[in-house]
A and B are shown apart, each in its own frame.
Chain A
Amino acid sequence: MATQTQVKPDPQLQSRRGTFDVLQDWVTTVDHKKIGLMYIAYALIFLVVAGIEALLIRIQLAIPNNTFVSPQTFNRLFTMHGTTMVFFVGMPILFGFGNYLVPLMIGARDMAFPRLNAFSFWVSAFGGILLYCSYLSGFGLYGAGTAPDVGWFAYAPLTARVFSPGHSTDYWTLSILISGIGSIGTALNIVATALCMRCPGMKLGRMPLLVWLYLVTSGLVFVTISPLTAAQIMLCIDRYLGGHFFDTQAGGSAVLWMHFFWIFGHPEVYILVLPAFAFANEIIPVFSRKAIFGYPAMVSASVGIGFISLSVWAHHMFTVGMGPGPNAFFTFSTMVISVPTGIKIFNWLATLWGGNIHFTTSMKFAIAFLFQFLIAGLTGIMLSVSPFDWQLGNSYFVVAHFHYVLVGAILTMIFSAFYYWYPKMSGRMLSEKLGNWHFWLFVIGFHLTFDFMHIPGMLGMPRRIYTYEADRGWALLNQIVSSGAVFQAVATLIFVWNLVASYFKGEKAGPDPWDAWTLEWSTSSPPPSYNFATIPTVESRRPLWDRKHPEEPDELFE
Chain B
Amino acid sequence: MIMIKFMRWSAHLSVKTKVCTSILIFTLLMLSSCDYDTNAIYNREVDRNQTAPDIGMEELHIGGDTVFLYTNIMTFKFNFTSSNQGIIGAGFSVDGADSVFIKSDDGQFLYKLGFLSSGAHLMKMDLVTHSGSSSIADILDSEGYIFTKTWVLIVIENYYTYAKEDVVNGYLKMSFTKYRNADLKEYEISRFVNDGYTVVGRVTIPAFTDSTYVGEGGSYKIKVNTLSGDFIYWGQADFNRNLPIPRFYTSPGNVYFVSWNKCKYFNAMDRYYTELSNTPVSKEYFNSPEDTILSLPDVHSGDTKLIMLRVIPKNGNLVYETGSHSQFESLQYFTVEK
Q: Tell whether A pairs with B.
A: no
Please report B residues at the A interface, Cβ cutoff 8 Å: none
Please report A residues at the B interface, Cβ cutoff 8 Å: none
